[in-house]
Every structure is written in structure tokens, then in C-alpha cells.
Amino acid sequence: MSGNTFGTLFRITTWGESHGPAVGVIVDGCPAGLLLDESDIQKELNRRRPGQSDITTPRKEEDKAELLSGLFLGKTTGAPISILVRNNDVDSSKYEALCDTPRPGHADMTYRLKYGSRDWRGGGRSSARETIGRVAAGAIAKKILGMNGIEVLAHVVELGGIRSKNVDVEQIRENTEKNPVRCADPDAALQMEAMIHAARGEGDSVGGIVEIIGIGIPAGVGEPVFDKLSAELAKGLMSIGAVKGIEIGLGFKSSIIRGSRMNDPIGMRDGKPAPLTNNAGGILGGISNGEPIVCRIAVKPTPSISKEQHTVDLSEMKDTRIKITGRHDPSIPPRIVPVAEAMVALVLVDMMMRGGFIRTSTIGQL
């Protein structure tokens, strides 16, 4: 199985299966001299952790990060950083029944078609536990970005058709982590939560839209032609399970408006030429223009639902029906927020290293 590595200069490789002994990540290309300890990683893993509220999977995992390499005297050395998180609350019993009956909407059937057999315990490699490695590596990327005055924030803007009102960056910072849905509009958050409970009550699930904003990114990040910043963000975000679409700036809406409405006028701001609006979402020609980078991802409803569904029994090659039990998220958007932030942070650090904005050898003075 290839394709477990992401990035060019700041490169991560995730490994591990949902019900194996552990999952983790190797971060290759982190500059030397970065002050780092387990609490930096843990802070982000705690936001991703299952069982945080009654609208996430009840799987109880502490998700404790163990930093195994790449550090000396509390600082990175430039060598590969290896982070391990043990799987403790493993219960494969509910998955035995799914061994030969692929779940509609999940990766079971395509893994089976491609590899012949698959690790069916908890979804194996296609499980959301894989995203632990991304979030752990993303915590390092966020720390590097923070030192460069850059912040990455995500929040749920739509869930099950319920929309957040327009919010500003201050409201996102202030409100998002205060409710289990991770929506910066508290009224919409309550309705979204009720929607998740209602869907779960019917043995069903709901999807939504998550917005990710990068603030403080200098102009000039992104490598034309194939490695546009927009293309790298799309790859990073679309590589997260359950993400079915991405838009940047006005995105899909830009196809139905006129150029005169879409174009961001350019004017003088603080003595410098700058766009006066941000319909472009901070990227033009694949290169950042100094404005906030704004992406939105469409997240599908959780495939594992307890409602009866049609599938096949591959051991007997006949049609059958399944009801999925086991522990699942009734809605993925609230849990994807830290994962999406991590992917955007990883793309930004990698692209900023490629563009010479961040040094590759050492964070400190030579």
C-alpha cells in the first residue's frame, strides 16, 4: 500500500490500524531547535480524541502521545520525529459480522477489491484513527506557524442543513470550542446538536461543512504550476476520510456570478497595493496574496449507521442486509475540525519551506 506519506520538505508518514497495538506518525524535515514536548502534541490530540461528548463515538481512548525520537534536551534535532499513540479501548467483536459484508459508504468494498483481503477490525487503515498521526504532526506544524505569526482556525459552518450565521475571526476563536458541535454561532450550535441526536435516534447520520481559515500568511506562498497552494490544500484536505468537496474563497458560487462581482478590487492599503475584498480566499494563480486563506470542505454523513442497509455477503456471493452496531460518530464535522486544521497547517509549513519563508535546517540562529 503506497501513499502513506504527505509533503515535500516537511513530510509526514502515518502508520497503524484502528485495532492494532498503536497508531502514529513520522515527521521528516522538521527544523532543529524547535522547543517541543508531549504537551504540545497532547493539546491537539485532546481536541481530536473520541468520547469528548455524547455526539461522538463512545470509544474511550486517552490518546496519549509518546515522543520517541528527534528530540534532545527538549528541542528538535532535525532528525525524524516519531510519535506513537497506543490503541487501548479495542473491541473488534462487532466487526466480525462485517468481515464479509462490506458497509455501504465505507472503504470496505474497495479495499477488498484492491487488496483481496483487509483488516476489518474497526476499519483497519481506513479508520479515522489514522488521523491521529495527522493531528500530532499538525501540532508541530502549528507551533512553527505560530512562531511566524500564523494561525489556523476551523469551525463548523453547516450541519444537516442548519447554517451558522456569519461570524468573524474573534467569534471563531471565542466560541468554537465552547460547544460539542464546534460551531462559532451558539444558537445554530444548539440546533445542530439536536439534529445530530434526531438523526442518531433514527439510526442515521448527518454531514456538514467545515470552514478553515489561515491568518497571517505572507504573500508569495505557493509554487506554480502544478504545486499551486490551492492544489496542495485540496490534496491535503481531500485526503481526509469523508471529505467530498473543497472550495476556496467564493468557491462554487463563483461559477454563477459575474466577473465584476467576483474580482477583488485592488487598492492602496497602509501604503501597499492590496485586494479590498477577499472573494479569492487569499490565493490567486496558486500563490497567496497576503489575505486570510479561506477554504471550506463538504463532509459526508457517517457511513456506519444502525439503519438496515442493503449489501452483499461475499462468502456466499448473495444479497443480504446489515444493521451496523459498534461505536461510531453520528456526525463527523465536529471531529474533523482539528484534523482539517492540521492538514492546512502541514501544507502551509511545507509550502513556506519550499518558498524559503521558513528555514529547513534550524529554527534558531546558525
Ligand X SMILES: Cc1cc2nc3c(=O)[nH]c(=O)nc-3n(C[C@H](O)[C@H](O)[C@H](O)COP(=O)(O)O)c2cc1C
Cβ closest to ligand X, residue 240 vs residue 280? 240
**How many C-beta atoms surround the C-beta of residue 190 within 10 A?**
14
Here the cell at position 286 is 496558486
Element (H, E) at 294: strand 293-299
Which of 18, 176, 288, 302 binds ligand X (CB under 6 A)? It is 302
d(CA 310, CA 318): 11
Site for ligand X in 190-229 (CB under 6 A): none
d(CA 58, CA 157): 24
Q: Under the criterion CB under 6 A, does residue 19 sit at the interface with ligand X?
A: no
Q: Under the criterion CB under 6 A, does residue 339 sit at the interface with ligand X?
A: yes
Site for ligand X in 271-300 (CB under 6 A): 300
Contacts of 365 (CB under 8 A, 6+ apart): none
Here the cell at position 304 is 456506519
Q: Classify 244 as helix, strand or coil.
A: strand
Cβ closest to ligand X, residue 332 vs residue 349? 332
Which of 25, 144, 242, 344 binds ligand X (CB under 6 A)? It is 242
Residue 150 Cβ vs ligand X, minimum distance, rounded to whole Å = 24
Contacts of 123 (CB under 8 A, 6+ apart): 18, 95, 106, 107, 108
d(CA 160, CA 199): 9
Cβ closest to ligand X, residue 106 vs residue 354? 106
Cβ closest to ligand X, residue 183 vs residue 332? 332
Give the per-residue contact string, 44-73, with ligand X (x = CB under 6 A; - = no).
Answer: -------------x----------------
Cβ closest to ligand X, residue 142 vs residue 182? 182
Which of 176, 304, 309, 331 binds ligand X (CB under 6 A)? It is 304
Scanning 149-157, 168-176, 218-226, 334-342 for contacts with ligand X by CB under 6 A, the matching segment is 334-342
Residue 103 Cβ vs ligand X, minimum distance, rounded to whole Å = 7
Q: Under the criterion CB under 6 A, does residue 331 sit at the interface with ligand X?
A: no
**How many C-beta atoms surround the C-beta of residue 363 within 10 A?**
18
Q: How far apart are the first and last CA of the chain?
A: 40
Are the CB atoms for 32 and 75 separated by under 8 Å? yes
Instruction: Tell me the number of residues near ligand X by CB under 6 A.
Output: 19
Q: Classify 287 as helix, strand or coil.
A: strand
Q: Under the criterion CB under 6 A, does residue 230 sit at the interface with ligand X?
A: no
Q: Which of 95, 100, 71, 96 is nearest to 83 (CA)?
A: 71
Site for ligand X in 89-148 (CB under 6 A): 106-107, 126, 128, 131
Which residue ranges make up the site for ligand X (CB under 6 A)? 57, 106-107, 126, 128, 131, 240-242, 300, 302-304, 328-329, 332, 335-336, 339
